[in-house]
Structure 1
Amino acid sequence: MIERLQGRHAAAYRDLMLDAYTRHPEAFTSSTEERAALPLSWWENRLNAAEDAGQVVFGITDGDAVLGAVGLTFSNRQRARHKVLLFGMYVVAGQQGKGLGQSLIDAALSYARQRPHTLLVQLTVSENNASARKLYEHNGFASFGLEPLAVATATGFISKVHMWRELRES
């Protein structure tokens, strides 16, 4: 089931994202060490239930487990409030290839369309993450730039592709 995650999901969401950072360090700007050091309250705050929350996270839940997630960040700045940032897209290995990533994107875009002032969604994706780029392109996202040396890893640097799409249906 896909739902907007709430504070009660914080521990399971934390576990999911720590798994993501560990299994795919090249795909995320955050590191396992950085995020593991954060208190559970940080994760609870990220899942703020307020209607006007600056961030929302959608998850695929199965009982108490969170099997996948994607987040949106909304700007409160007057000149940037039309832009939404999609972040933290991940589905656990055993559930990949089942259309859950598509379902998460559908939920995120649907929610973003309902927020006042929002016109477009932006994201970044690691240049070498072909499967994620394909999923985003399938959903109408287009590249608008490459950020070289965007993320430092133990083995070197990773460039990030910047992508965007309008929210209105064509």
Structure 2
Amino acid sequence: MQVTVLTPADAAAYRELMLEAYEQAPDAFTTTAAERRAEPEAWWIKRIGSAEGLGTCFGAWQEGRLVGTVAIEYSAKPKTRHGALILGMYVQAAQRGRGVGLALMQAAIAAAAARPEVLMLNLTLTEGNEPALRLYRSVGFVSWGTQPRAIRTDSGTDGGKDGSFKGKVHMSLALARG
């Protein structure tokens, strides 16, 4: 397995993997597969970003196939430039338990740590996702709160009266400096 920074040339593979993610783990994301399927190629290329820009996407490759991904979004605003957001983490089911998620998180943390202005990494995960919670804790993230009813997990056809919801657990990691 190899972890690399994704480039625009990887957009088709990234799109395919993320559409799988939205379908296979719908409760893990605040976006639906249908929403993302409608996005043009330019959106996916922008989402990939670049190692130097405000967004960087990493991919885990196994025998030439993209099997996992995670992204970082950096802030351009002076008052929030010290923080970055980890998002879009997904590893194919057949690759889980093999260190792919750990390698992706280590790459993301190292990339953020290489930017002197970034002092804190933040992420959210859906309540009840114990494997993700264990992974994030293993690399030093700490839970600090849960947003109740953060995502709707049913079709929403009842007009919001009796829907199923899950909370989002907020986690942070202070990057060591000096």
**If the TM-score is normalised by the length of the shorter chain, which range does it land in?**
over 0.9
Unaligned runs of 5+ in 1: none
Structure 2 equivalent of residue 18 of structure 1: 19
Structure 2 equivalent of residue 6 of structure 1: 7
Hey, what's the Cα distance between the residues in 2 that align with 1:169 and 1:128?
32
Unaligned runs of 5+ in 2: 156-163
Hey, what's the Cα distance between the residues in 2 that align with 1:37 and 1:68?
22
Question: Which runs of structure 1 show a deviation greater than 4 angstroms over 4 or more consecutive aligned residues?
Answer: none
TM alignment of 1:23-62, pairs within 5 A? 23-49=24-50, 51=52, 53-62=53-62
Hey, what's the Cα distance between the residues in 1 that align with 2:138 and 2:51?
31
Aligned CA RMSD, in angstroms, stands at 1.5
2:134 is paired with a residue of what secondary structure?
helix
Which protein has the larger Cα radius of gyration, Structure 1 or Structure 2?
2
Structure 1 equivalent of residue 106 of structure 2: 106
What TM-score results when the alignment is normalised by the length of structure 2?
Answer: 0.90
CA deviation profile, 1:74-114 (whole Å, cap 9, x unmatched): 00010100001000111111111101100000000000001
Aligned residues: 169
Hey, what's the Cα distance between the residues in 1 that align with 2:106 and 2:113?
11
What TM-score results when the alignment is normalised by the length of structure 1?
Answer: 0.94
Structure 1 equivalent of residue 172 of structure 2: 164
- Using the aligned pairs only, state the percent identity: 40
Structure 2 equivalent of residue 142 of structure 1: 142
56-65 or 121-130, larger mean C-alpha shift: 56-65
Hey, what's the Cα distance between the residues in 2 that align with 1:115 and 1:169?
11
Hey, what's the Cα distance between the residues in 1 that align with 2:166 and 2:8?
32
Q: Which amino acid aligns with 2:116?
A: P
Hey, what's the Cα distance between the residues in 1 that align with 2:50 and 2:173?
26
Offset at residue 65 of structure 1 (A): 2.5
Offset at residue 169 of structure 1 (A): 6.7
Hey, what's the Cα distance between the residues in 2 that align with 1:103 and 1:157?
31
